[in-house]
Structure 1
Amino acid sequence: MPVSIYRLSVPVFVRGLKVLSTLLEEAEAHAAANGIALEVLVNARLAPDMLPLSGQIQRVSDTAKNALGRLSGKGAPSFPDTETTMAELKARLEKTIAYLQSVPEAELKGSETREVKLNVGKLGVTFSGEDYLLEFALPNFFFHVTTAYDILRHNGVEIGKTDYLGPYG
């Protein structure tokens, strides 16, 4: 039996968002224990031309919800990128999870062949739904999850690979 687009997307995105929320809790604890203002972490970045932690969280959210919106053909909710606090970032992750969990599996039936058109850089690209999910949405999602992890780790938050992978079972 083939694996459904739903199974390849919703549980994967939700797991990644929950792991990221836990990493933000670790960051809060680290900041409190070390007298670091939370806005320092929220605005931290790895390089001057990269998005800060807040931007990474926003892109993770956008990637997950827009993927389901495109695959279902119904669009996704729009969240303005106005988060400036750790609490607001965690709330955005929760809103994203709630949206993902509200999408019925039936809405993604047949989406593997749905045409998805994107502007990637200056190029217009057309994917099948399956290729869009596997070749664009999931890699983009995990790029931003990993970058958020790296920002926190770079700023002294004591997290490791098992924190990134999250709990099983």
Structure 2
Amino acid sequence: MTLFESTLPIYRRSLTTLSAMLTKAQAHEGGDALLDAKLADDMHPLATQLRFLSNQPGEAVARLTDRTFTSRDDNETTLASAKAVLAEMDGFLAGVEENELVDAHSTIVMDIPNGMQFTLTAEQYVRDWSLPNFYFHLTTAYAILRQAGVPLGKADFVPHMMPYITKMPTE
């Protein structure tokens, strides 16, 4: 699998999945107030999880191509605006061509805000940093919404699996 195949389609599919979850959250009691919900006191609220998640693909594209990306620093204050940011990121990703990505063995030096620096190959960056962090924030957003009572289930988290169903359980 190429770097492109293991990143861009996954980011885009997951942004669409999260947008659908946020649509359910909009219809749920509490609506925009859910953006302040947390799983634990020492964790970021949903709004920050969404910001981190929506920045992650852009940061990856900037490291894996010659494109630039500026991460958002502010949290969205409504579920509708959070969905708009996800759609904006999806549009950005839609314009990335496979031939723009660096070779999987290219070296990436990654500085993170706390002062740490990592040096790894593009493949290691995708496998060990970008995708795990992206899924962490996606899963945390799902868990926050679920804990708040938004009617979500596993099928909401992995709707992309539905086309592969070849047999349904009988009751």
TM over 0.5: yes
Greater shift in the superposed pair: 112-121 or 94-103: 112-121
Q: Could you say which structure has the higher helix fraction? A: 1
Give the counterpart letter for 2:68 in structure 1.
Answer: G
Query: Structure 2: which 5+ residue stretches go unaligned?
Result: 164-171
Q: Of 121, 129, 137, which aligns to 1:128?
A: 121
1:72 equivalent to 2:65? Answer: yes
Matches within 5 A, 1:1-169: 3-31=1-29, 36=30, 38-110=31-103, 112-120=104-112, 121-167=114-160, 168-169=162-163
In the alignment of these two chains, the number of paired residues is: 161
Checking the alignment, whether the CA contact within 8 Å between 2:32 and 2:77 is kept in structure 1 is: yes
Question: Structure 2: how far apart are the matches of 1:52 and 1:66?
Answer: 21
Percentage identity across aligned positions? 35
TM-score norm. by structure 2 comes to 0.88
1:83-110 CA-partner distances (Å, limit 9, x unpaired): 1111110000000100011111110152
Letter in 1 for 2:12: V
Aligned residue for 1:7, secondary structure, equals coil
- Structure 1: any 5+ residue segments left out of the alignment? none
TM-score, L = length of structure 1: 0.89
State the secondary structure of the residue aligned to 1:156.
coil
Question: One-letter code of the match for 1:13?
Answer: Y
| Partners of 1:17 and 1:51 in 2: CA distance | 19
Cα-Cα RMSD: 1.5
- Per-residue displacement from partner, 1:28-76 (whole Å, max 9, x unpaired)? 1222xxxx2x232011111122111111111111111111111013222
Q: What is the deviation of 1:77?
A: 4.2
> 112-121 or 64-73, which moves further after superposition?
112-121
Could you tell me how far apart the structure 2 residues matched to 1:22 and 1:12 are?
Answer: 15
CA–CA distance in structure 2, aligned partners of residues 63 and 78 of structure 1: 8
